[in-house]
């Protein structure tokens, strides 16, 4: 099933009209119609808002079922494959938010509080290395802590990206109950200059 079919299926299941969905996403109902008929695809910046409107993960929206037991690549892989078709190079902060969202979805016990934090993160510093990157964040004005003593390392799934032979891993660090850092690293392959 493609993204347009998924949008239509979830919209109808929720009893939502194209007009209501369009209003939630600040697009025209004609745009929603084009997605559903396969004449176009939603802009990459709308993937997360659409999945949130349907209360599903970006993986599910993009066609990866939550019952897929052979999860060897994360949602970002299928997402990146789809946007490659449109030769879209995304901004790195878009890329990071998609990765963080995908990691958060793997931890239902923390999901709600981490989603709230994700909406309020500020980039503190980003460092690139030969084989990866580290991005540090501050979370501002949010009550949704996981607990002052909660220090966690989330995300141990491997993704395929930009044709790197051995894939990449991402780790979301939680420090004192808050999102602190996202690390991405390859396995002895140069980190790509552009995420497509």
- Long-range CB pairs of 34-40, under 8 A, 24+ apart, other chains included: 35/3, 35/4, 35/7, 36/4, 36/5, 36/7, 36/8, 36/11, 37/4, 38/2, 38/4, 38/5
pLDDT, tens digit, 9 for 90 and up, residues 153-167: 998 666 666 667 777
Q: What's the pLDDT at 82?
A: 46
Share of the chain above pLDDT 90, in %: 24
> Model pTM?
0.56
Structural domains in the chain plus CATH codes: 1-54 (1.10.260.40), 71-196 (no CATH)
Q: Residue 158's pLDDT is what?
A: 67
Q: Is the pLDDT of residue 7 over 70?
A: yes
Task: Count CA atoms closer than 13 A to 191's CA, side-chain side.
Answer: 15
Q: In this predicted model, which residue has the larger pLDDT, 71 or 182?
A: 182
With a cut of 60, say whether residue 195 has pLDDT above it.
no
């Amino acid at each position: 099933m493609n993204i347009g079919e998924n949008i239509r299926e979830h919209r109808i299941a929720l009893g939502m009209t194209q007009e209501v969905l369009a209003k939630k996403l600040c697009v025209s109902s004609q745009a929603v119609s084009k997605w559903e008929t396969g004449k176009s695809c939603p802009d990459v910046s709308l993937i997360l808002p659409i999945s949130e409107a349907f209360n599903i993960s970006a993986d599910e929206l993009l066609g990866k079922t939550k019952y897929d037991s052979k999860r060897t690549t994360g949602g970002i892989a299928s997402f990146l494959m789809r946007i490659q078709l449109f030769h879209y190079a995304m901004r790195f902060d878009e890329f990071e938010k998609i990765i963080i969202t995908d990691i958060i979805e793997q931890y239902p016990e923390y999901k709600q509080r981490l989603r709230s934090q994700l909406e309020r993160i500020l980039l503190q510093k980003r460092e690139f290395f030969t084989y990866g990157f580290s991005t540090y964040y501050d979370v501002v004005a949010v009550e949704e802590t996981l607990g002052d003593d909660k220090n966690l390392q989330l995300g141990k799934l491997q993704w395929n990206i930009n044709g790197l032979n051995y894939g990449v891993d991402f780790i979301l660090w939680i420090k004192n109950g808050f999102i602190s850092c996202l690390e991405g690293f390859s396995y002895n392959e140069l980190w790509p200059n552009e995420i497509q």
